[in-house]
């Protein structure tokens, strides 16, 4: 078969590794894994003699590079092999000497910058957090080991060491003074998930064939789900209703209201464009998000906030929440959120917990998990299942029900039972 995109897309997952070779270019092939992963390869004998050892060189992952790009690389590798040069051997020499510390350095420059699934640029604060996690835990424990020598047992050992506190330390930071590095199950879970992502980057880069972190069991205690109670929502609403001390505090209060009323992710609201707001159909049509393009249905309370915000922005403004300086969008929520949650006495609540709150109120109100998952944009049903312990309707109606419930709690008005008839009518 000819290795072109249409033919490659049609290849189904095999039961075991499958090798396919191009009809036009001898030695240019494709390796298909049982997982569905497809890697372009160049297969050759150095010098072209039958008595020489057959070698195989990975050219890149299908989807990361195109078939045409892989074909061009294959021609170069095959030409060099004909002249007696062994590209695979040169790669293996580098691979055998590549340490985990060197891998972290390479990943922090390249792989940490974009979401692996969507290719969307990540927020700098998230990049910095992941790089710090790798440097504080992975590098001290296993940084000197070569990447090629790693096996699943090594990854499991690192997880145990972090969970038991062996990576704890204190060090001076250049910006924030003394840095305390702590361990525990939660830190171990986050770190191993990150390590697996780094090793997947190594696979994509051709440093290793397989990710040794796949299949590592992680403690469920690593997941943290915090929901605001009606009393806490009332206190939050009281703080948000206070007169804005500055433009920054006013913008932050509006963003927080939208986050809890929609269940959207922080980046989806902070970076919201007016072109993505559909007032006619009551939804946000996000061009990019953590899970790619998505639609976020809006209830009446959220629509009213956006309509009010529209009155305060110029007609030619791109961003719903423009930055105070420059042409970008607002990016000052962290400082304001710290102040707001302190005043509301919910200091252990993260911004992302507002999303959990939206989902938990929906689940507690009898809205089905598939519907909640549709509103939140979950790709996996298992993601929404976390709300199952809390005791096709249109998504917008469901979003309106949840938003109305939350808006009432924020204002401290009425009881759940008193609002039940309206809820049932909407559903």
Give the model's confidence band at 386: pLDDT under 50 very low, under 70 low, under 90 confident, else very high.
Answer: very low
Same domain for 61 and 154, yes or no, is no
Give the model's confidence band at 422: pLDDT under 50 very low, under 70 low, under 90 confident, else very high.
Answer: very low
Same domain for 113 and 235, yes or no, is no
Most confident of 20-24, 298-302, 365-369, 400-404: 20-24
Are 197 and 139 within 8 A, CB to CB?
no
Instruction: Please give the average per-residue pLDDT across 70-85, as a whole number.
Output: 88
Are 278 and 234 within 8 A, CB to CB?
no
Distances in Å between the alpha carbon of 230 and those of 14, 101, 211, 364? Answer: 51, 47, 44, 12
Residue 138: the pLDDT is 93
Last residue within a domain, chosen from 78, 96, 114: 96
Residue 384: the pLDDT is 41
**pLDDT per residue as tens digits for the range 134-169:** 999 999 999 999 988 899 999 999 988 888 888 766
**Crossing angle of the two packed helices 185-204 and 152-163, in degrees rounded to 10:** 150
Last residue within a domain, chosen from 55, 74, 96: 96
Same domain for 78 and 180, yes or no, is no
Residue 177 has pLDDT above 50, yes or no: no
Residue 409 has pLDDT above 50, yes or no: yes
Same domain for 105 and 150, yes or no, is yes
∠ at Cα 420 (414, 422), nearest 5°? 95
The overall average pLDDT reported for the chain is 79
**pLDDT per residue as tens digits for the range 306-325:** 999 998 887 788 899 998 87
Share of the chain above pLDDT 70, in %: 76
Total number of domains constituting the chain: 3
Residue 335: the pLDDT is 86
Choose between 356 and 300: higher pLDDT.
Answer: 300
Residue 366 has pLDDT above 60, yes or no: no
Are 320 and 273 within 8 A, CB to CB?
yes
Same domain for 375 and 293, yes or no, is yes
How many angstroms separate the CA atoms of 273 and 310, rounded?
11
Question: 């927080």: which residue's tokens?
Answer: 256
Q: 113 is written with which tokens?
A: 């910058």
How many angstroms separate the CA atoms of 271 and 423, rounded?
31
Same domain for 359 and 419, yes or no, is yes
Same domain for 117 and 206, yes or no, is yes
Most confident of 25-29, 77-81, 174-178, 394-398: 25-29
Sign of CA dihedral 7, 12, 17, 18: negative
Residue 11 has pLDDT above 90, yes or no: yes
Give the model's confidence band at 419: pLDDT under 50 very low, under 70 low, under 90 confident, else very high.
Answer: very low
Of the listed ranges 93-102, 179-188, 252-261, the least confidently predicted one is 179-188
Same domain for 348 and 237, yes or no, is yes
Same domain for 318 and 358, yes or no, is yes
* Ramachandran quadrant class, 326 (left: phi over 0; alpha: psi -120 to 50; beta: rest): left
Domain that holds residue 51: 5-96
**pLDDT per residue as tens digits for the range 33-68:** 888 889 899 988 876 566 677 888 888 889 889 999
**Cβ count within 10 A of residue 363:** 22
Give the model's confidence band at 391: pLDDT under 50 very low, under 70 low, under 90 confident, else very high.
Answer: very low
Same domain for 411 and 335, yes or no, is yes
Choose between 344 and 409: higher pLDDT.
Answer: 344
Residue 381 has pLDDT above 70, yes or no: no
Residue 418 has pLDDT above 50, yes or no: no
Give the model's confidence band at 118: pLDDT under 50 very low, under 70 low, under 90 confident, else very high.
Answer: low
Same domain for 168 and 189, yes or no, is yes
Residue 93 has pLDDT above 90, yes or no: no
How many angstroms separate the CA atoms of 266 and 256, rounded?
9
Residue 6: the pLDDT is 92
Give the model's confidence band at 368: pLDDT under 50 very low, under 70 low, under 90 confident, else very high.
Answer: very low
Last residue within a domain, chosen from 221, 246, 266: 221
Residue 304: the pLDDT is 93
Residue 373: the pLDDT is 55
Residue 388: the pLDDT is 43
Q: What CATH number does the domain containing 70 carry?
A: 3.30.160.390
Q: What CATH number does the domain containing 240 carry?
A: 1.10.443.10
Sign of CA dihedral 416, 422, 424, 427: negative
Same domain for 286 and 355, yes or no, is yes
**pLDDT per residue as tens digits for the range 203-214:** 877 778 889 998
Q: What CATH number does the domain containing 207 carry?
A: 1.10.150.130
How many angstroms separate the CA atoms of 248 and 323, rounded?
9
Strands 294-297 and 283-286: antiparallel
Choose between 362 and 212: higher pLDDT.
Answer: 212
Helices (H) and strands (E) in the chain, counts: 18, 9
């Amino acid at each position: 078969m000819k290795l072109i995109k249409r033919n490659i897309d049609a290849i189904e997952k095999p039961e075991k590794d499958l090798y396919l070779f191009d009809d036009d270019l001898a030695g240019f092939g494709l390796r298909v894994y049982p997982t569905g992963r497809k890697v372009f390869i160049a297969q050759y004998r150095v010098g072209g003699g039958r008595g020489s050892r057959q070698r195989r060189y990975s050219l890149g992952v299908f989807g990361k590079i195109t078939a045409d790009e892989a074909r061009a690389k294959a021609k170069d590798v095959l030409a060099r092999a004909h002249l007696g040069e062994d590209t695979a051997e040169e790669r293996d020499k580098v691979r055998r000497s590549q340490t985990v510390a060197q891998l972290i350095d390479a990943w922090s420059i390249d792989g940490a910058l974009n979401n692996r699934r969507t290719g969307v640029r990540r927020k700098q604060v998230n990049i910095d957090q992941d790089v710090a996690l790798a440097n504080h835990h992975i590098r001290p424990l296993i940084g000197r080991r070569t990447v090629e020598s790693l096996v699943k047992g090594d990854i499991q050992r690192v997880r145990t060491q972090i969970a038991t506190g062996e990576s704890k330390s204190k060090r001076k930071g250049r910006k924030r003074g003394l840095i305390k590095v702590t361990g525990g199950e939660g830190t171990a879970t986050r770190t191993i998930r990150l390590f697996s992502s780094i090793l997947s980057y190594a696979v994509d880069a051709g440093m290793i064939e397989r990710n040794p972190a796949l299949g590592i069991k992680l403690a469920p205690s690593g997941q943290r789900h915090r929901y605001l109670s009606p009393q806490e929502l009332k206190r939050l609403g009281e703080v948000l209703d206070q007169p804005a001390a500055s433009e920054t505090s006013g913008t932050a209060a509006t963003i927080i209201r939208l986050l809890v009323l929609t269940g959207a992710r922080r980046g989806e609201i902070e970076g919201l464009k007016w072109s993505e707001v559909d007032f006619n159909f009551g939804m946000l049509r996000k061009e990019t998000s953590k899970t790619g393009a998505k639609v976020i249905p809006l209830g009446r309370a959220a629509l009213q906030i956006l309509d009010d915000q529209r009155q305060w922005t110029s007609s030619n403004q791109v961003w719903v929440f423009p930055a105070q300086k420059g042409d970008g969008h607002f990016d000052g929520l962290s400082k304001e959120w710290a102040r707001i949650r302190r005043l509301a006495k919910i200091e252990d609540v993260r911004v992302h917990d507002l999303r959990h709150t939206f989902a938990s109120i929906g689940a507690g109100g009898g809205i089905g998990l598939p519907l909640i998952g549709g509103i939140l944009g979950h790709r996996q049903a298992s993601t929404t299942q976390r709300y199952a312990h809390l005791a096709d309707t249109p998504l917008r109606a469901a979003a309106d029900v949840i938003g109305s419930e939350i808006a009432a709690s924020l204002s401290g008005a009425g009881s759940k039972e008193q609002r039940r008839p309206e809820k049932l009518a909407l559903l």
